[in-house]
Amino acid sequence: MSSPVSLRKFPYPYRSMFAICSDVDHATSLSAYVAFMTYLNTEKETCYGSGLGLELSNSFWFFNNDDDNQLSYFKGLSQNEMAFASICRALWASGHLDTLHTYGNFNKGGFQRGLAETALAELSRHGAKIPVWVNHGNDKNSQKIGTYTGCEGANPENPAYHLDLLSEHGTRFFWAGRTTHVAGQNASFSMGNQFQQKLQKLVLKTKYRKIQRPLPDPPNRLIIQSDMADGRQILEFQRFISRLGEVKNTDCNDLGLQLSEGNLTALINSAGFMLLYTHMNENLPADQALPDSVTKGFQRLKRYSDQQDILVSTSSRLLTYADHIQHLRWTVENLNGAQEIHLFRDDHRTLNPEDLRGLTFYTETPEKTILSVGGTPLSVHQNPRDSQGKTSVSIPWPALEFPL
């Protein structure tokens, strides 16, 4: 007789998940970019202090069609590599550079499909896959993916069309402009979360009633399936900006406000997912300490990570995990005194065991529970009782190894 099983929302023993989804705009110093990523992802000594040893990712550009000095893989619109290129390749391979903030800065216009072909060919040449796309720029930046003014990347009648290329490359998650003031998506209905949702709905009806850009998702979902002009459907996600509108510039200096005690405890209490919207390299000091409020904000995040209240990870790992648990289905079979949980997706998408890392099932008999995909058993950990007093089994969640 099998014991009852159920899917735990987050990898054992965490109560929520968090990632920083940062736009690369105004990253001007390569040394600061590298030092900050080292500070976030290792325990090494840096100009920003002792490293936090967390797991956080960043974004990049291939091109820069502007005269300003910003980090890009290629110089201008050429195929001549900048110093940033070798850093990108190392971070692509490790999983710490998982977001394409469009192909580059084209706020003066000038984007053509051929540039997408060049960029994706470069990724292919190095065996790299970038799972996350984030829109950038004004209406002249026609490469954007979406359904509002200036988004032509999904329009097959426009020279800027490239969504087919991104889909073939394997990019799965798209940010098309939705930001939210609710701390925690796919969240439980805690009192605080309900209040934030009601407040946001009021703001949408008043302050934002004439805005044509994408608005927060009313059901507060992390990932929304959206139809594009070329007939494709994309997985569109939304990012958290602030609870009370206190953040103005979403630059490095605002990170202290975004990583406030109130925001992080609201995330934990709502048992939600959070992708933080920021430009963490904008106004990032080079070779000197971070603003005190920012240091304290990251130390706060580190504390909740160490307490196993918040699982801190990369944008792509968080989105991949959230997408899988949304579509995961299973059957239970008794086999020689053990119970085997057969995993599959309700949309028939193939399950890759590597993408199931962290998956946790509650079971009264963890020593007799097997997880399998396509008949192949998966390696699992047996977990002691968590904060709810339940035992479970988990597919291991290995930490990424920072390469720099």
CA separation for the pair 34, 84 (Å, rounded): 10
Cα–Cα nearest to 268, from 18, 12, 57: 18
Confidence of residue 195 (pLDDT cuts 50, 70, 90): confident
Q: Is 396 left (phi over 0), alpha (psi -120 to 50) or beta?
A: beta
Question: Which letter does DSSP use for residue 352 in this model?
Answer: P
Q: Is the pLDDT of residue 1 over 50?
A: no
CA separation for the pair 40, 24 (Å, rounded): 16
Q: Measuring CA to CA, how many Å separate 333 from each of 341, 368, 379, 401?
A: 7, 12, 18, 37
In the sheet with 239-240, reading across from the earlier edge strand, the strands are 179-180, 239-240, 273-278, 17-22, 311-312
Confidence of residue 215 (pLDDT cuts 50, 70, 90): confident
pLDDT by residue (tens digit) across 330-369? 999 998 889 999 999 999 899 988 889 999 999 999 999 9
Cα–Cα nearest to 277, from 372, 139, 136, 142: 136
* Domain ranges across the chain: 5-9+319-394, 18-315
35 C-beta neighbours (distance < 10 Å), count: 21
Q: Measuring CA to CA, how many Å separate 401 from each of 54, 94, 128?
A: 11, 6, 16
pLDDT by residue (tens digit) across 14-27? 999 999 999 999 99
Confidence of residue 205 (pLDDT cuts 50, 70, 90): low
26 C-beta neighbours (distance < 10 Å), count: 17
pLDDT by residue (tens digit) across 35-88? 999 999 999 999 999 999 999 999 999 999 988 889 999 999 999 999 999 999
- DSSP letters for 99-160: EE-SSEE-TT----HHHHHHHHHHHHHTT----EEE--SSTT-TT--SSSTT--TT-TTSTT
Bond preceding residue 13 cis, omega within 30 of 0: yes
Confidence of residue 210 (pLDDT cuts 50, 70, 90): low
Name the percent of the chain lying above pLDDT 90. 83
CA atoms within 13 A on the CB side of 130: 30
Average pLDDT, the chain: 93
